[in-house]
Amino acid sequence: MIKTLRFWITLLVSFAMIGILSITLLSGYYVTKENLINNSLEINRVYSMKLARLTEEVFNGMQSNLQVKASEISAEIDDVEKLSSTLANLLTSSKNFNSLSVISKEGVVLATSPELGIVGKKLDTAGPKEALLKRKSLISMPYKAATGRLLILVSTPLWNEKNQYLGFLSGTIYLQEDNIINTILDEHFATDGSHVWVVDNKGMLIFHPDPKRIGEMIKENKVAQKILGHESGAQKVTNLEGKEYLAGYTYIKSSRWGVVSQTPYETSVKPLKGMIYKMLLYALPFVLFFFLLTIILTERLSSPLRKLAMFSAKLKDNEEQNQYANIPTWYFEAKQLNETIHEYAKSQQQRVENYKERSYTDPLTGLKNRRYGDKVTTRWTTDKKQFSVIMIDIDHFKVVNDNYGHHIGDEVLKFLAKKMSHILRGDDVCIRLGGEEFILLLAETDVQEAMVIAERLRTTVSSSLCPTNDYITISLGVGGYLENLETIEELYYRVDKALYQAKTEGRNRVVLSEV
């Protein structure tokens, strides 16, 4: 079967629209994905920097607390009982250390809080050795203590009034137990699987949400390698377990640690699917609109040629043309063809016009139209027949169209037409004027009876569920024809004023027109 011009144009435009939509969604996908990744990296970078600063401030505060107490401890260094009491008070007030100790210059433990069972013992572990050797305030690297715990030592030296070195005051943080680092870092602000971890300058984890991993060496981790190189920044990384993360990391100069905030890669790009779906959802109405526009324009382009071709085919076969539709000739080719056969088609076109003149039915509701109403009222006035008019308007119909669309609006018009048809009697005629305006022509009916019918219709409509799955109301104007005193136009004008009054007085009511 030979395809029509309309088919090929529609096919071509459809391919073009699908291609444009696909390219738009694809580019939107990659741009949005990149933005999500960059946004997640930046958030984690800033968050790691914030936590690094907070951690540094806390440790500086811890050192300051020890330095403030150093002179008091130096004065009490020979009184073990006072030392223990002072340490206990300091531990209670600071709440940053897991334990406090006073170590002599020989490395012997003089006092602890709480009691650790090491008083009188000489310490031979890395932290105390470093403090005795350097004789300055410092934060040690993680090491195994005499108690078997993995800890960090924060210490400050003790000097007497003669500037003689007495030992040092130290606070410890137990890395594998509840400690100040947990308090600062444990709960990530995001609840999407993001977490924070801390690595020292040897590549050892000194904090991780999983306590079992604390003390683990992770030098192979790319972010850890950046931190070991004293770098700060953000990047995508695959951890030692093969999981992908978007990580921000900050190197702390004072402690030589690195704070890392990371978010699972899948979590970061998870909104992507929803965003692309929304893009498609937002684009779809425009696509449908332009597709509909394409169909209309295609129809306009192809319709003249198609109609002329079909008409010519009938002429060729010597068939009598029963109906001739007006052929628009808004472009050159169609115009030239149309002019060639215009004279012959003239009579056929006249038949179409005559047919239109005889068409009295509203295509949407199936009711009669204004032309038919004029014909009826002309006949009734000629026959001097008494009749009344009910003019009807749907209240807030624009809201129906705006909220539910014109398709539902059309269904509401059909719903009202059906309700009106139910109350028709013998010669009564129901007419759609246009839009949401209707007229009931009531034969052999005075205004009192018309008011009863109008009220019954109003009540029926307002109490019936319409296609919006809600209720609508109507306003009605009622008037009886005054024979020999007014024209039909004057009657309509009078009833229309009553309808307007019904709407201005609150709608959903029937108003009798004033004579």
Active-site amino acid positions: 436
For residue 387, give the 3-state DSSP assignment.
strand
For the purposes of burial, counting CB atoms within 10 Å of the CB of 118, is it exposed (0-12), middle (13-18) or buried (19 or more)? middle
- Cis check: omega of the bond before 209, within 30 degrees of 0: no
Which residue blocks in 139-197 are alpha helix, DSSP H?
180-185
> 10 Å Cβ neighbour count for 459?
12
Angle between helices 488-504 and 370-382 (to 10 degrees): 120
> 10 Å Cβ neighbour count for 408?
16
Nearby residues of 337 by Cβ (< 8 Å), 6 or more positions away = 304, 305, 308, 329
C-alpha closest to that of 197 among 209, 211, 180:
209
Say how far apart CA 92 and CA 89 lie, in whole Å: 5
Angle at the Cα of 252 from the Cα atoms of 246 and 257, rounded to 5 degrees: 75
Residue type, 436: E
Element (H, E) at 474: strand 474-480
C-alpha closest to that of 510 among 483, 486, 479, 477:
477
Which residue blocks in 157-221 are alpha helix, DSSP H?
180-185
C-alpha closest to that of 445 among 380, 490, 364, 505:
380
> 10 Å Cβ neighbour count for 195?
18
Angle between helices 406-422 and 397-404 (to 10 degrees): 140
**C-alpha Rg value of the chain to the nearest Å:** 46
Nearby residues of 321 by Cβ (< 8 Å), 6 or more positions away = 311, 314, 315, 345, 348
Say how far apart CA 377 and CA 314 lie, in whole Å: 42
Which structure tokens are listed for 23?
């390219």
Say how far apart CA 456 and CA 462 lie, in whole Å: 10
